[in-house]
Structure 1
Amino acid sequence: MIPLLGTLLTVGGLLALGLNLWVLLQHFLTIDVPAAITHPVKFWILSYFFQLSITWGTVLEKLRICSMPGFISFLQSLFKPTKDPKVVVQDLRFGTIPVRLFQPRRACPGLRRGIIFYHGGGAVFGNLDFYHNLCSDLALKTDSVLLLIGYRKLPDHHHPSVSRDCMNASIHFLKALSTYGVDPFRVVACGDSLGGGLAVKITQDLLCMPELPQIRAQVLIYALLQLLNYQLPSHRMNQNVPFLTRNFMMNCLCRYLDIDPSWQDTMLKGGFIAPETWKKYRKWLSSDNIPQKFKNKTQEPEFPSSFNESAHLETICLLDDLVSPLLVDDEVIARLPEAFLVSCENDVLRDDTLLYKKRLEDQGVPVTWYHVEDGFHGCILFCDKKPFSFPCSQTIMDAVVSYIKGI
């Protein structure tokens, strides 16, 4: 029995070592580290461990031990947030939705501004603990009451659970602003990545609820705003840049939207978009709207490719403004509040921000745009993790704080 156990442990150890070395080699051969990234070695090492986590989760999923999102959730549960004595933190439930409320401990003579924070993570990463330090710091530095929403995610919950949870929690908070000492005229919708898209969509939907306090400003950090055009310059130029490669993004989208991954190639080429649909949305989503300085000199591929009706029927949810808030009509865009938009040069989603910026400006909505040349997707999450932080992490945090304090 003991020799058998020893053999199994040896084989298991060798397999684990082999997997780690395989990920290391693959990472070395496929990952791009842009020249603008400061601390490129640190960036490469962190991205390797990020990819290693995803790979281990995928292997465990194939072995039917647990799902990849479930494994990521387990890893995140090991993360313990830091308690700041200057911030009062409450864990609450709005119905079945877990939320976390952050309030500066110091007394305030009047009402504070409010921030509703929608976290990113592609419905795979992110939870209340993982975003705790970031939100605590943001609440303290802006002297605001901040609500962080812990919406349901993969593997157990798919579209549209995230949107519904965030909308319901937002309505609950807006109805009770006086309870939390929040000025109803200074509520900010803020989010990163997927959370940025949620902030936009909820701000749009609240326009139809005049009985509720309206959002004063949108603060969007490298937001995911459309799921139609995956051939924008940033999607092609940054497709292998961590921490959001195009392959990983498509993996998360297919999982959350419950789309068979076999359609990914057709999605990337735009084959699911009917000609009449592209005719309607081209004026908003075409790469023609991206300034020339953000394009490389390579020839752009034909987009969309020939129409595939089967793909269209299987991916029809991609045309819903619930997941692509850039698709709403100009009349809605014109009614939106001012926006603070953060984009990162080395981010596959950079051009989503540029497209949204143009749409807002075309409709006369005030826009403050903050572009970070050495920034990358997910970088703001490192601002409170000093050994792993990057200059762009704190730069973005400082810019967001400065803007919100001006409201």
Structure 2
Amino acid sequence: FGGWAAASIAQSLVSIPSLPQIRAQVLITPILQFVNFLLPSQQQNKNIPFLTRDLMTLLVGKYLAIDLSWSDSMLTGSVIPPDKWMKYRKWLSSDNIPRRFWSQDTQPEFLGHFNEAAYLETKHIFHTEISPIIADDETIAQLPEACLVSCEYDIIRDDTLLYKKRLEDQGIPVNWHHVTDGLHGCLIMFDIKFLNFPCSMKMVNTVVSYIKSI
């Protein structure tokens, strides 16, 4: 889940011109928002190791100090006030995900009935430090170029696709690599012989090549 922290730090640094600026941001299968859990990848890959929906829900609760009793409200979008959805849907809606990433079973977003109590317990998900993808256009436009890596079989795959569009819409160069046989967490196994996946080395080589090129 470190991706959102890295993106948030990059946004913070651009607001302090006296500090050395980041040359580039490299985000590998990051989670970049905790608002919309109804994206196509959330539906398609909820049972894929190594990040299942149950595990993701547990980790989100731990990271954000949200009681697990509010998990269903978060997963169904019941924590999203209608006015906030009107504001952020242009950046977070499934409409921004290319149709080639939709399966036949993918359902359009239909937010659950708004639950004010759930919102009050989870409203910090709307802070840009936690969901950096919802930062304003002026902030996004100041960010450095990016190398983004997404995996097909990853429950948070679509966060990368949404962020890619946000950056490109503001004229930020994006070097995007999509690993069609990849799954979340496979990168850390690139040097473990008995658990090595072909996708692991693809991701390592991609990132190394990008860093050498800048």
TM range (shorter): over 0.9
Aligned twin of 2:66: 259
- How far does the alpha carbon of each residue in 1:184-226 deviate from its partner, in whole angstroms, 9 at most, with x for none? xxxxxxxxxx222111110000011111100000011000100
- How far does the alpha carbon of each residue in 1:339-386 deviate from its partner, in whole angstroms, 9 at most, with x for none? 000000000010000000000111100001100010000011011112
How many residues end up aligned between the 2 structures?
Answer: 214
Question: 2:44·2:106 contact (CA, 8 Å) conserved in 1?
Answer: no
- Percent identity reads 57
Aligned twin of 2:152: 345
1:234 alignment partner, one of 32, 41, 50: 41
- How far does the alpha carbon of each residue in 1:210-269 deviate from its partner, in whole angstroms, 9 at most, with x for none? 111000000110001000110100000000001001111111111222211111111100
Distance in 2 between residues matched to 1:232 and 1:327, nearest whole Å = 16
Q: Which residue identity lines up with residue 349 of structure 1 in the other structure?
A: I
Give the drift of 1:298.
2.4
Q: Which residue identity lines up with residue 403 of structure 1 in the other structure?
A: Y
Q: How does 1:192-231 map to 2 (within 5 A)?
A: 194-231=1-38
Aligned twin of 1:309: 116
1:322 aligns to 2:126 (yes or no): no
Distance in 1 between residues matched to 2:95 and 2:57, nearest whole Å = 23
Give the drift of 1:302.
4.2
Question: 2:43·2:106 contact (CA, 8 Å) conserved in 1?
Answer: no
Identify the structure with bigger relative contact order (alpha carbons < 8 Å, sequence gap 6+): 2
Q: Which residue identity lines up with residue 24 of structure 2 in the other structure?
A: A
Q: Extract structure 1 runs of 4+ deviating beyond 4 A.
A: none
Aligned twin of 2:194: 387
Give the drift of 1:270.
0.4
Distance in 2 between residues matched to 1:344 and 1:271, nearest whole Å = 28
Q: Secondary structure at the match of 1:315?
A: helix
Q: Secondary structure at the match of 2:74?
A: helix
Aligned twin of 1:280: 87
Aligned twin of 2:184: 377
When you count strand as a share of all residues, which structure comes out higher? 1
Q: Secondary structure at the match of 1:375?
A: strand
State the Cα RMSD in Å.
0.9
Distance in 1 between residues matched to 2:113 and 2:44, nearest whole Å = 23
Distance in 1 between residues matched to 2:108 and 2:135, nearest whole Å = 26
Distance in 2 between residues matched to 1:370 and 1:255, nearest whole Å = 30
Give the drift of 1:301.
4.8
Distance in 2 between residues matched to 1:281 and 1:364, nearest whole Å = 20
Long gaps (5+) in structure 1: 1-193
Aligned twin of 1:28: none
